[in-house]
């Protein structure tokens, strides 16, 4: 603990007392002691996350119950669990891991005396797996519930069921915005407490106004340029698709634009606005606005909201090449997103040197869970990458879509923490007016496979019955798709019970199909390369395709693929090559030469290590083994295991004279992203491709793929245990019929006969 007299300790105490939450401390503590559930809401930054758990801890210590208390506070993201625990420990003058600790997936810091644990929601769900009643836990605090993340909505169902079994357990729900009533009524009218907050006023500038102040002119040429900066054909396709998307918001944005007359703007601005392209994020416009702030505005950090990791990186590259924004003596340019290293994350909280302006490029993570104190200017591109899910075609879609009004307000609010601020919304006012009030909860827009597996492993009964009790239940079709999928891959049996495979999959922190690959990798003795494939698929693609060097980059990737027709094998070769180069201190050069991202390769490396420990932990890999088995690639074995994991991600290949036609059962004709090694080749010498991900934009695109042969598909596609060989054949039969490959059926029958004879002769 702090010496209260020390100036540092005194300052911290004063700071804590200055937060709006402090005034409500007694009210909050009284409510916690008198009610099993309470809902707390308040402006971001008022002290919910850092203070309320501490108040509870302190009051328990005062009441001499300190040793018995155990407070768990969940965060939707790793980075916030880590950052907040560090902050709270610092406020208490302690080291992390004393009374305050954290636990995130495969990483953590806590000790015997830890009484307040910040963890991700996923970690608490995993704990429930081992201990259904949360024995010993006295308080559960679920933070950021307004975000309506899938895990949080799921956790609320579980906790609501748990409360009657644990009458002394206290549940506190915390939310930034004011839709607290929804949660309160879900918990039978739990009392809600609002912390009145103070933020400085923030002036909002919409696009018309920005063009007036900065004198910037949008021209059709600029848009083409912006497209170029947003690079890769992939993004262009997505942007085009976005325009076509018949979603309510997109069309209402277009309608709004059509009727807007921008009266009151100068004719120059009006002309410029007519060139505005709602599909493009407009890097040049952002650059211009940032330049304006750096040159003309008062001191203060800038927070730029982008849609995701890829556009943050491309924008960062563009800005670094700028004479002012790229000058480290004037600008400290930082990126902030969920998958960055924690040392890098910390930089964003630090104060830059005098005269240097901090610019943080962030995803919507910086909307609520992270508070960067010195932000005075916010630049809001108006979009966030949102996964949506098309239940009819059973296809996930990932598109930058317009944010909600609530999110836009929240982004704006980030500028008013320390003094009055400015917010630059890079879209016209009429577009804002057309935004939806709130974003759709994640449970209603994502595939439910992993969640369904968790429901089963937590023994929560029927998946559809359980999910029907959610705050806003998902569509029955989405639930049915998930259950069917899990049956198909052999994680559930006919009666929706977990199979042995399903039980193993439920403890692996990756999607079921990737988990299945890992497990088969251990069985077939090719774990090392399979771990690389799975890590690559769960992190992101390490192959970079710079816009201006597209051809060179693609041929570098093609070299890794050789004649394998596999993006997955290309990844393994690239990774192995990098490991060798690292050993000779030339990793950097290797990446540069081969257009690989060292950062991504490092992330893959660390994830691989984590998989290995986990597999040892679950007993799938012998505890004595120090290193994984051979790194060498047995191409046939790899294809088989990849096929087993990715099935039913399957498309047929028909080589025509001048083109190749690819078809999946659900979508008909599909295309490959241009950076796949199978794209643009004259011939694919395999009858099938298995793929990890398809994304629907205007057409359906497959992201990465591996060619497989008929016999591999027959033996590894799907779940042989399900209904025995006959059941397997019946299931595959549907596919074979669809793809008009009945001879495969004959081939299958003869394979089956041979197998049966083999078994009989044994």
Residues at the interface with ligand CDP (CB under 6 A)? 19, 42, 44-51, 83, 87, 349, 371, 373
Please, which residues have CB within 8 angstroms of residue 78's CB and are 6 or more apart in sequence?
Answer: 104, 105, 107, 120, 338
- Beta carbon nearer to ligand CDP, 139 or 728: 139
- Beta carbon nearer to ligand CDP, 47 or 502: 47
The distance of closest approach from Cβ of residue 494 to ligand CDP in the complex, given in angstroms and rounded to an integer, is 47
User: Which residues in the 697-716 window bind Mg ion by CB under 5 A?
Assistant: none
The distance of closest approach from Cβ of residue 525 to ligand CDP in the complex, given in angstroms and rounded to an integer, is 46
> With contact defined as beta carbons under 8 Å apart, do 104 and 82 qualify?
yes
The distance of closest approach from Cβ of residue 100 to Mg ion in the complex, given in angstroms and rounded to an integer, is 15
Out of 25, 31, 40, 49, the only residue in the binding site for Mg ion (CB under 5 A) is 49
Alpha carbons 301 and 292: distance in angstroms, whole number: 13
- Beta carbon nearer to ligand CDP, 12 or 356: 12
Strands (E), 567-649: none
The distance of closest approach from Cβ of residue 419 to ligand CDP in the complex, given in angstroms and rounded to an integer, is 13
The distance of closest approach from Cβ of residue 372 to ligand CDP in the complex, given in angstroms and rounded to an integer, is 8
Q: Please give the helix or strand (H or E) that residue 705 lies within, else none.
A: strand 705-708
Please, which residues have CB within 8 angstroms of residue 218's CB and are 6 or more apart in sequence?
Answer: 211, 272, 273, 275, 276, 282, 285
The closest residue (CB) to Mg ion is 49
The distance of closest approach from Cβ of residue 533 to ligand CDP in the complex, given in angstroms and rounded to an integer, is 36
- Out of Mg ion, ligand CDP, none, what residue 232 binds, judged by CB under 5 to 8 A for its kind, is none
The distance of closest approach from Cβ of residue 116 to Mg ion in the complex, given in angstroms and rounded to an integer, is 15
- Out of Mg ion, ligand CDP, none, what residue 45 binds, judged by CB under 5 to 8 A for its kind, is ligand CDP
Binding mask 467-506 for Mg ion (x = CB under 5 A): ----------------------------------------
Alpha carbons 45 and 373: distance in angstroms, whole number: 9
- Out of ligand CDP, Mg ion, none, what residue 42 binds, judged by CB under 5 to 8 A for its kind, is ligand CDP
> With contact defined as beta carbons under 8 Å apart, do 281 and 381 qualify?
yes
- Beta carbon nearer to ligand CDP, 25 or 48: 48
Structure letter (DSSP) for residue 156: H
- Out of Mg ion, ligand CDP, none, what residue 349 binds, judged by CB under 5 to 8 A for its kind, is ligand CDP
The distance of closest approach from Cβ of residue 429 to ligand CDP in the complex, given in angstroms and rounded to an integer, is 27
Number of residues near Mg ion (by CB under 5 A) = 2
- Beta carbon nearer to ligand CDP, 340 or 569: 340
- Beta carbon nearer to ligand CDP, 360 or 571: 360
Structure letter (DSSP) for residue 331: E
The distance of closest approach from Cβ of residue 201 to ligand CDP in the complex, given in angstroms and rounded to an integer, is 17
Distances (CA, A) of 214 to 261, 304, 522: 21, 17, 60
Residue 399 φ/ψ region, left for φ over 0, alpha for ψ in the -120 to 50 degree band, beta for the rest:
beta
- Out of Mg ion, ligand CDP, none, what residue 336 binds, judged by CB under 5 to 8 A for its kind, is none
Residue 210's Cβ-side half-sphere holds a number of Cα atoms within 13 Å equal to 30
The distance of closest approach from Cβ of residue 95 to ligand CDP in the complex, given in angstroms and rounded to an integer, is 16
Pairing state between β 375-380 and 421-425: parallel
Q: Label residues 496-527 b or e (16+ Cβ within 10 Å = b).
A: bebbebbebbbbbbbbbbbbbbbbbbbeeebb
Alpha carbons 397 and 445: distance in angstroms, whole number: 9
- Beta carbon nearer to ligand CDP, 53 or 490: 53
| 39 bridge partner residues | 173, 192
Structure letter (DSSP) for residue 658: S
- Beta carbon nearer to ligand CDP, 60 or 144: 144
* Exposed/middle/buried for residue 574 (C-beta within 10 Å: 0-12, 13-18, 19+): buried
- Out of Mg ion, ligand CDP, none, what residue 47 binds, judged by CB under 5 to 8 A for its kind, is ligand CDP
The distance of closest approach from Cβ of residue 143 to Mg ion in the complex, given in angstroms and rounded to an integer, is 6
- Beta carbon nearer to ligand CDP, 16 or 504: 16
Does residue number 439 form part of the binding site for Mg ion (CB under 5 A)?
A: no
- Out of Mg ion, ligand CDP, none, what residue 325 binds, judged by CB under 5 to 8 A for its kind, is none
What is the arrangement of strands in the sheet containing 100-104, beginning at the earlier edge strand?
107-109, 100-104, 116-120, 71-75, 139-142, 170-175, 37-42, 192-195
- Out of Mg ion, ligand CDP, none, what residue 602 binds, judged by CB under 5 to 8 A for its kind, is none
Query: Which residue shows structure tokens 């047929």?
Result: 652
- Beta carbon nearer to ligand CDP, 51 or 70: 51
- Beta carbon nearer to ligand CDP, 45 or 717: 45
> With contact defined as beta carbons under 8 Å apart, do 216 and 210 qualify?
yes
- Beta carbon nearer to Mg ion, 72 or 646: 72
Alpha carbons 700 and 663: distance in angstroms, whole number: 10
- Beta carbon nearer to Mg ion, 43 or 554: 43
Helix, strand, coil shares, percent, the chain, to 5: 50, 15, 35
The distance of closest approach from Cβ of residue 349 to ligand CDP in the complex, given in angstroms and rounded to an integer, is 6
- Beta carbon nearer to Mg ion, 42 or 502: 42
> With contact defined as beta carbons under 8 Å apart, do 704 and 698 qualify?
no
- Render 533-569 in DSSP notation, one character per residue: HHHHHHS---B---GGGHHHHHHHHHHHHTTS-BHHH
Q: Considering only the stretches 42-50, 65-73, 115-123, 180-188, report the one whose residues sit in contact with Mg ion under the rule CB under 5 A.
A: 42-50
- Out of Mg ion, ligand CDP, none, what residue 171 binds, judged by CB under 5 to 8 A for its kind, is none
> With contact defined as beta carbons under 8 Å apart, do 573 and 560 qualify?
yes
Q: Considering only the stretches 44-52, 153-161, 186-194, 734-742, report the one whose residues sit in contact with Mg ion under the rule CB under 5 A.
A: 44-52
Of 614, 545, 535, residue with least CA distance to 575: 535
- Beta carbon nearer to Mg ion, 49 or 184: 49
The distance of closest approach from Cβ of residue 738 to Mg ion in the complex, given in angstroms and rounded to an integer, is 50
Q: How many CB atoms lie within 10 A of CB 653?
A: 21
- Out of Mg ion, ligand CDP, none, what residue 663 binds, judged by CB under 5 to 8 A for its kind, is none
Distances (CA, A) of 253 to 119, 245, 386, 633: 38, 12, 17, 51
Q: Considering only the stretches 26-34, 46-54, 227-235, 414-422, report the one whose residues sit in contact with Mg ion under the rule CB under 5 A.
A: 46-54
The distance of closest approach from Cβ of residue 175 to ligand CDP in the complex, given in angstroms and rounded to an integer, is 10
- Out of Mg ion, ligand CDP, none, what residue 19 binds, judged by CB under 5 to 8 A for its kind, is ligand CDP
Binding residues for Mg ion, per CB under 5 A? Answer: 48-49
């Amino acid at each position: 603990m702090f010496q209260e007299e020390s100036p540092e300790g005194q300052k911290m105490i004063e700071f804590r007392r200055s937060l709006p939450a402090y005034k409500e401390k007694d009210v909050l503590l009284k409510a916690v002691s008198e009610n099993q559930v309470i809902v707390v809401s308040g402006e971001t930054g008022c002290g919910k996350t850092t203070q309320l758990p501490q108040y509870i801890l302190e009051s328990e210590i005062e009441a001499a119950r300190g040793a018995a208390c155990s407070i768990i506070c969940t965060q939707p993201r790793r980075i916030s669990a880590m950052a907040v625990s560090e902050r709270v420990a610092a406020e208490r003058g302690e080291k992390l891991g004393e009374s305050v600790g954290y636990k995130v997936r495969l990483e953590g810091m806590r000790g015997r005396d830890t009484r307040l644990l910040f963890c991700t929601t996923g970690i608490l769900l995993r704990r429930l797996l081992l201990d259904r009643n949360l024995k010993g836990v006295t308080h559960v605090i679920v933070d950021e519930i307004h975000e309506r993340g899938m895990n949080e909505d799921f956790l609320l169902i579980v906790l609501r069921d748990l409360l009657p079994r644990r009458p002394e357990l206290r549940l506190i729900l915390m939310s930034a915005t004011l839709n607290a009533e929804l949660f309160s009524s879900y918990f039978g009218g739990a009392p809600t407490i609002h912390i009145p907050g103070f933020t400085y006023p923030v002036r909002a500038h919409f696009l018309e106004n920005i063009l007036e102040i900065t004198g910037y002119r949008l021209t059709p040429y600029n848009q083409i340029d912006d497209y170029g900066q947003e690079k890769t054909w992939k993004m262009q396709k997505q942007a085009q698709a976005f325009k076509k998307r018949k979603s309510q918001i997109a069309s209402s944005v277009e309608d709004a634009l059509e009727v807007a007359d921008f009266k009151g703007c100068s004719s120059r601005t009006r002309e410029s606005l007519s060139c505005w392209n709602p599909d493009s994020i407009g890097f040049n416009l952002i650059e211009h606005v940032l330049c304006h702030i750096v040159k003309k505005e008062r001191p203060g950090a800038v927070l730029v909201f982008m849609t995701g990791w890829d556009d943050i990186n491309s924008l960062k590259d563009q800005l670094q090449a700028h004479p002012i924004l790229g000058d480290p003596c004037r600008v400290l340019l930082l990126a902030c997103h969920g998958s960055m290293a924690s040392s890098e994350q910390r930089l964003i909280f630090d104060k830059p040197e005098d005269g240097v302006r901090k610019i943080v490029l962030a995803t919507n993570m910086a909307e609520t869970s992270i508070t960067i104190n010195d932000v005075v200017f916010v630049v809001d591109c108006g979009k966030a990458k949102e996964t949506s899910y098309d239940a009819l075609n059973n296809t996930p879609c990932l598109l930058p879509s317009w944010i909600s009004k609530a999110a836009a307000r929240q982004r704006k609010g980030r500028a008013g923490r320390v003094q009055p601020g400015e917010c630059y919304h890079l879209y016209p006012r009429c577009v804002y007016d057309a935004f939806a009030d709130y974003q759709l909860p994640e449970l209603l827009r994502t595939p439910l496979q992993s969640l369904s597996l968790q429901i089963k492993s937590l023994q929560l009964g029927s998946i559809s019955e359980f999910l029907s009790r959610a705050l806003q239940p998902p569509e029955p079709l989405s639930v049915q798709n998930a259950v069917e999928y899990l049956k198909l891959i052999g994680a559930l049996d006919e009666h929706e019970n977990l199979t042995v495979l399903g039980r193993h999959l439920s403890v692996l922190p990756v999607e079921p199909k990737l988990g299945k690959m890992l497990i088969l990798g251990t069985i077939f003795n090719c774990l090392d390369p399979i771990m690389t494939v799975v890590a690559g698929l769960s992190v992101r693609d390490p192959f970079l395709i710079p816009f201006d060097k597209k051809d060179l980059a693609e041929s570098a990737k093609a070299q890794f693929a050789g004649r394998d027709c596999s993006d997955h094998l290309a990844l393994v070769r690239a990774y192995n090559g990098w490991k060798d180069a690292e050993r000779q201190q030339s990793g950097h050069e290797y990446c540069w030469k081969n257009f690989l991202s060292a950062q991504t390769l490092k992330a893959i490396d660390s994830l691989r290590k984590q998989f290995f420990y986990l597999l040892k932990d679950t007993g799938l890999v012998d505890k004595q083994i120090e290193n994984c088995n051979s790194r060498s690639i047995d191409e046939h074995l790899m294809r088989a295991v990849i096929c087993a994991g990715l099935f039913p991600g399957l498309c047929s290949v028909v080589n025509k004279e001048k083109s190749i036609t690819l078809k999946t059962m659900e979508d008909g004709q599909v295309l490959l992203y241009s950076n796949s090694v199978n794209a643009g080749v004259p011939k694919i010498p395999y009858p099938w491709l298995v793929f990890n991900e398809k994304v629907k934009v205007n057409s359906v695109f497959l992201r990465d793929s591996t060619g497989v042969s008929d016999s591999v598909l027959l033996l590894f596609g799907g779940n042989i245990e399900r209904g025995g060989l006959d059941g397997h054949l019946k299931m595959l039969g549907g596919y074979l019929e669809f793809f008009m490959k009945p001879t495969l059926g004959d081939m299958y029958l003869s394979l089956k006969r041979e197998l049966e004879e083999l078994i009989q002769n044994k």
